[in-house]
Structure 1
């Protein structure tokens, strides 16, 4: 009994001493290694950094609206169109008047619309041809976005418009095009005939409509 007990205590003591030494070694290693474990720990999330926004290209704002003033003349350098402007009202059937076809190089402005430069869509009309010659707006369909149209006004100012789009619209769909609809800023509509000539009706089947916005006054 005594021999077995003494041997058991001695074995336990040796095992305890070995375990203690092993623990001290682990502590020493951890201390020397800075206390880090296996290289699997993720670094703390990076703090958000304020980034300056990208500089934005300056947008070209539409020109400020002008007071009412009758237009005097129109000039479209790209298509060589230059004309004085005569006032146009409504026909008995409530269609918009056009300049006399016998003077196809004469353009006119619609007096029931805003004057060019006022807020809203000013309207200028002209013939594509007439009296066996080319009209003031013969080349109107050649205009494209970015082209300029200048209209001199009675008050001495000149309203400069920039074309935004050009549409060819069947006359039967003209009302749905919204040519005369209100706009938030000063705009311009140039209107002439286009498309196929219907000999039975003695007229063209389409309209060419140029949309433009005021960019300088």
Structure 2
């Protein structure tokens, strides 16, 4: 074992192995046995750090792919403190990268009904799931609306769905057509935010742009 590997904790090595298997072979192939073997440990060692594969999957999403969870967490205190458009661009840019990385991991769940049901129940038990992204963004938009920085007739849930749905579609198209990894996430995020915000954000929230 190299000196570098000796310096990496058991938990970190397990997550590294799980992330690699999920990216290359899909989530269905990422069994606890395979993850433990790839990390160089027994399954017993794996269960000292994680209760089940669902918890590993959620840890991979939170710690081994673009930090969408961290960005969404910061939204809780972002309302009224930052430019609305800049905040939405940051969320959208991170979501584009997040969905692009996780799409190959998640697609395997839909191959087997039992596997999908297991992960659905597991994510609910661990407080996760795909809807948490839209929920966090909607709550932020509602807060900005309450502060008078978003028009009263705008539906925050609809805006969140439009933005996050577009990000997920980017990942689908990219992987379906086998295109190179996106190199223009910043530009694409700006374009998407422009499209959904036109006429929605009041001038006081971002200067005189609209």
TM-score, structure 2 normalization: 0.23
Point out the structure with max Rg over C-alpha. 1
Higher helix share: 2
TM-score where L is the length of structure 1: 0.23
Q: RCO greater where, 1 or 2, for CA within 8 Å and sep 6 or more? A: 2
